[in-house]
Amino acid sequence: MSILTKRSLHPRLLRSSLQGFCRLLSMEPAEEAKKSAAYAAVDNHVKTNQKLGIGSGSTIVYAVQRLAQRVQDEKLDVVCVPTSFQARQLIIDNSLVLSDLERHPQLDVAIDGADEVDKDSNLIKGGGGCLTQEKIVAAAADYFVVIADSRKDSQILGEKWKKGIPIEVIPMAYVSVMNKLKKIDRSPELRMAKSKAGPVVTDNGNFILDWKFTKVPESWAEMNQTIKMIPGVVETGLFINMANKIYFGMPDGSVSTR
């Protein structure tokens, strides 16, 4: 509805329309930032005859769109290995060649997003619940590229990402894992689904715990290892010393790298 018709609107409806319009405007810089980072990563790191890992999340949508455009325009010969059901559908919907780690266990480049990046390029991932497959694909690549908007850039993990460290667990063990994590810091939360009754279930059939830590450890590598040694833990959302290059999209469309 046009704002020009505001005189005919009830004040409450007018406020609602204006708020929605303002939200739309506020989203545009963030989306522009995601797109800039994604395009820069694809342009700088994708070449013909490569095997690519395709990550998950909202920023990856722009990366796949740019990849599809380059494949069409430049006749690139690439195969794509997805990290999730979402990534698989993106690859198919954009008419790219779909593969897997059985056929291509060694990848040239993996491109993925992040929920937070600290000054040492450590990551928190798994806000979308795909952390295990994302880490497997990233580890299979010779070069791991991370794309994010500048809001994900922090000095320390937990500075901006307040939802905690995602931890994928075997369903039968989630209470036991929660109790053991509570002894380290505080008890994590079982991630609940928004459109169904019950917890979120990953592509692997597991549950997700979100651990909102209060104490920043001296070593994230040691903390990651401690969590992974708890029986029932499948994987953590801590990606330590894995990223080779990070692209941060800025609100003005520019890109900074680390």
CATH of the domain at 228: 3.30.70.260
CB-based contacts of 198, cutoff 8 Å, min separation 6: 192
Q: Spell out the alpha helix ranges (H) of the chain.
A: 11-45, 58-74, 85-93, 131-139, 174-184, 220-228
Verify that 130 and 38 share a domain, yes or no.
Answer: yes
pLDDT value for 22: 56
Cα maximum dimension of the chain: 64
Identified catalytic residue from 32, 116, 134, 235 = 134
pLDDT value for 27: 52
Catalytic residue flag (residue 102)? no
Q: Can you give the CATH number for the domain in which 131 is found?
A: 3.40.50.1360
Verify that 66 and 105 share a domain, yes or no.
Answer: yes
pLDDT value for 2: 44
β-bridge pairing 238-239 and 245-249? unpaired
In the chain, the amino acid numbered 196 is K
pTM: 0.88
Residue 5 located in a structural domain = no
* Structural domain count of the chain: 2
In terms of Cβ atoms closer than 10 Å to its own Cβ (0-12, 13-18, 19+), residue 8 is: exposed
For the residues of 91-157, what is the DSSP string, one character each? HHHTTPEE--TTT--SEEEEEE--SEE-TT--EE--TTS-HHHHHHHHHTEEEEEEEEEGGGB-SST
DSSP state of 192: B
pLDDT value for 17: 56
In angstroms, what CA-CA distances link 80 with 65, 83, 92, 103?
13, 10, 10, 11
pLDDT value for 237: 98
**178-234: per-residue pLDDT in tens?**
999 999 999 999 999 998 899 999 999 999 999 999 989 999 999 999 999 999 999
Verify that 182 and 210 share a domain, yes or no.
Answer: yes
Verify that 35 and 135 share a domain, yes or no.
Answer: yes
Instruction: Give the chain's end-to-end CA distance (angstroms, integer).
Output: 43
Verify that 84 and 99 share a domain, yes or no.
Answer: yes
The 245-249 sheet, strands edge to edge: 97-98, 78-82, 50-54, 107-112, 141-149, 245-249, 255-257
Tokens 């342009």 — which residue? 43
Residue 36 located in a structural domain = yes
The pair of three-digit structure tokens given for residue 221, joined into one six-digit string: 């590598």
Range of the domain at 183: 165-236
Verify that 139 and 245 share a domain, yes or no.
Answer: yes
Verify that 111 and 199 share a domain, yes or no.
Answer: no
Verify that 134 and 206 share a domain, yes or no.
Answer: no
Verify that 32 and 148 share a domain, yes or no.
Answer: yes
Tokens 């395709």 — which residue? 54
7/26 Cα distance (integer angstroms) = 25
In the chain, the amino acid numbered 145 is V
169/237 Cα distance (integer angstroms) = 12
pLDDT value for 6: 42
Low-confidence residues of the chain: pLDDT under 70: 1-27
